[in-house]
Amino acid sequence: MTDTSNAATNLSPTIDLKDLGTVHRLGFGAMRITGPGIWGEPAHRGTAIDVVRRAVELGVDFIDTADSYGPDVSEEILAEALYPYPEGVRIATKVGFTRPGPDRWVALGRPEYLRQQTELSLRKLRVESLDLLQLHRIDSKVDAGEQFATLRDLQQEGKVKALGLSEVTVDQLKEAEKYFTVSTVQNRYNLTDRTSEDVLDYATENGIGFIPWAPISAGELALPGGPVDEAARRLNASASQVALAWLLRRSPVMMPIPGTGSIDHLEDNMGALGISLDDATYAQLESAR
């Protein structure tokens, strides 16, 4: 594991992503601007649009979505809220899942499907080239090389600027690098789930943006008297802000994308940028599981 115990608390707020350029490390996840079960329209579409616009007002310039969020709904709302996109704002999307119903996800990595969904994302987001396209899952029923080659071809055709992966092992990441430059990797990672520690360390060593999904999950650590709760009280912060501040300090390639359908929650999450963890607090959180 990479030793960050003595890391400076003033790590750069930005990261230079391969094939894409510089973005702020604290972004916005657009999964929760859809309906329950990540299915259909949100209860109030106007509120979802307001949340997206407020995120950009607060300085967010990296927004993560997927064709399967809704499906389609998240991408369509982003375009409605932001098009024409403000200069510097990057929209990352993903392909590789089908959605048979609420809370149901089925990997589908056939090359013709990945290509079809990429074309549809271009249309929904109203762009000629996607900023970042990520393979949502490697479909175990399809040769991984075929899936990687399809993404490579889409990039060579100019339909995609940068490419990434989601929920992969280090070995899978290395295999994908034989086909294209991996700009980002998106695995579940938070204070209570560090299963992907080796992937994070590889990303850190190789300058690959690491996007932790479910970033603010703190579980029992945030209960009264727990280390997250204690840190939040000392810092006059929320538990979510502490969890995000820990992630941002954990690695210079860390790119949390907390998602919400509420402006209040959005503003609270963005407040993590003002939280500085001292060495003792960071070490306490690092050792907590």
3-state SS class at 216: coil
CA distance 261 to 273: 20
Cβ contacts of 171 within 8 Å, gap of 6 or more = none
**Average pLDDT of 156-165?**
98
Question: Is the confidence at residue 209, as pLDDT, over 50?
Answer: yes
Q: What is the largest CA-CA distance in the chain?
A: 54
Please indicate whether residue 113 is annotated as part of the active site: no
Tokens, residue 269:
């999450």
Cβ contacts of 19 within 8 Å, gap of 6 or more = 155, 161, 162, 163, 181, 183
The HSE-up count of residue 266 (CA atoms within 13 Å, CB side) is: 26
187, 125, 141, 196 alpha-carbon torsion, rounded to 10°:
0
Question: What angle separates helix 45-57 from helix 73-82, to the nearest 10 degrees?
Answer: 60
Residue that wins the pLDDT comparison between 61 and 6: 61
pTM exceeds 0.85, yes or no: yes
Amino acid letter, 91: I
Question: Are 113 and 145 a contacting pair, CB within 8 Å?
Answer: no
Given 69, 85, 179, 189, the catalytic residue = 69
10: pLDDT confidence band, cut at 50, 70 and 90?
A: low
Question: Are 231 and 285 a contacting pair, CB within 8 Å?
Answer: yes
**Average pLDDT of 8-30?**
90
Q: Which of 175, 141, 148, 178 minimizes the C-alpha distance to 163?
A: 148
Write out pLDDT tens, residues 89-127.
999 999 999 999 999 999 999 999 999 999 999 999 999
What region, left, alpha or beta, does residue 37 occupy, with left being phi > 0 and alpha being psi -120 to 50 degrees? left
Name the phi and psi angles at 172, rounded to 5: -65, -40
Distances (CA, A) of 70 to 34, 36, 66, 162, 207: 6, 9, 9, 24, 32
Give the whole-number percent of the chain exceeding pLDDT 70.
Answer: 97
Give the whole-number percent of the chain exceeding pLDDT 90.
Answer: 92
